[in-house]
Chains A and B, each alone.
Chain A
Amino acid sequence: MSILIKLSTTLRDMVPGYEPETGLSVSLKDGESSITAGELASRIGIPLEEIKIVMINSRQSELASVVADGDRVAYFPAVGGG
């Protein structure tokens, strides 16, 4: 099992080789039972101040929300273009 991470717009620039179609799969470390959305973002190199929306399994969450194995986590920056 692993956690599927999806990144939006400019956040994709921060993870070299990120593929929008597949997203990014991250496995919990040995002995690790849980992780927060914020810790997960830091692990892949996304500065927390760039994240404005967090969705866990398509529901709005927070950086402090706990992510479980098998979850899908989406991070969005501010999207304000018209």
Chain B
Amino acid sequence: MNKLPDTHILLEKLAPFLHEGRGGTGVGREGIRLLSEETGMSERVVMTELLSRNLWPERFSRCRGVFSAGALARLLSTRILVAGCGGLGGHAAALLARMGAGGLVLCDPDSFEESNLNRQLFCTEKAIGRPKAEVCREGVLSIASYMDVEAHVTALDENTLPGFLKNVDFVMDCLDSVARKKMLEEQAKKAGVPCVQGSVARNEGLTLFDSSFALPFSKVYPEEVSGNTEGAAMNTHVLTVAGTAALMVSLLMRKLCMGRNDGGKLFHLDLSVPELETLSFSL
């Protein structure tokens, strides 16, 4: 059997696993696991099918009224490349797992260092010396074990990116230099994969997302940028990184759930004021 029974039979079967809470009934994960075992469908597909009948998995029950069941089902079917698993990437991956993303491809060639403890979500004292991508994968699966998560301890460049971009719906640009971000943007355009971009320094974060492949990052930085874009000039802390990663994921959600295109907008988060301003640039 590879489909769920009729809803009234389904509800009888799920009765021991139903949670009554704010605004409705949620299906507990033990019930979802049971359906997965009985039908041979993955837990992710079971949840998507339940949502199509407006039956919400309990883990997402507090999202009711915030997102539609259809939007959540779309997110569960979405696979996202996270380019860089340090500051922005670690936070973005965790946020995507909590929001309901179905699959992640995590890429980072580096291992955690002590100086990452101030801002990188999955960097713990125990994780120092371990590859960021692998630790990030473990962390994401500890939030949402049904997810399809790949970890690659690999640098992303013109040679490796085409392969990673083949089977994803979006890419989150969490790389750490303007030059690499421009390169990723161009590769994503070639592959037809929309790219959400974020960058941080000090108390400030910049995000942008244009799904029409107009190379927005290159429009913001039309000249070649070299020199002081790495190292101490880009020092920052967890508040900037977490806030900017949340903005990146919210831009993705706006596209996925509401079809919004934020092309030509540059969002500037400044926690030293604090303020969020929307700036305009020409595509």
Residues of chain A whose beta carbon lies under 8 Å from any beta carbon of chain B? 8-10, 20-21, 50, 52-53, 55, 58-60, 74, 76-82
**Inter-chain contacts of A8 with B (CB < 8 A):** 204, 268, 270
Inter-chain CA distance A55–B206, complex, in Å, is 14
Residues of chain B whose beta carbon lies under 8 Å from any beta carbon of chain A? 84, 86-89, 173-181, 198-206, 219-221, 223, 225, 228-230, 233-236, 266, 268, 270, 272-273, 277-282
Inter-chain CA distance A21–B271, complex, in Å, is 10
Which residue in A55, A60, A78 is a CB contact (below 8 Å) of B225?
A: A78
Inter-chain CA distance A25–B233, complex, in Å, is 25
Inter-chain CA distance A56–B176, complex, in Å, is 27
Greatest chain A CB density within 10 A among B84, B223, B228 is at B228
Is B89 touching A82 in the complex (CB atoms < 8 A)? Answer: yes
7 interchain pairs, CB-CB under 8 A = A60-B279, A77-B233, A78-B221, A78-B225, A79-B229, A80-B225, A82-B88
Closest chain A CB from B273 CB (angstroms):
5
Inter-chain CA distance A21–B181, complex, in Å, is 30
Which residue in A53, A55, A60, A79 is a CB contact (below 8 Å) of B201?
A: A79
Contacts A9-B202, A81-B236 given: A58-B221 contact, CB under 8 Å?
no
Interface Cβ pair total, 8 Å cutoff: 91
**Inter-chain contacts of B279 with A (CB < 8 A):** 55, 58-60, 74
Is B220 touching A53 in the complex (CB atoms < 8 A)? Answer: yes
**Inter-chain contacts of B223 with A (CB < 8 A):** 52
Nearest B residue to A22 via CB reads B273
Is A77 touching B200 in the complex (CB atoms < 8 A)? Answer: no
Which residue in A21, A52, A58, A79 is a CB contact (below 8 Å) of B200?
A: A79
Is B280 touching A79 in the complex (CB atoms < 8 A)? Answer: no
Closest chain B CB from A8 CB (angstroms):
6
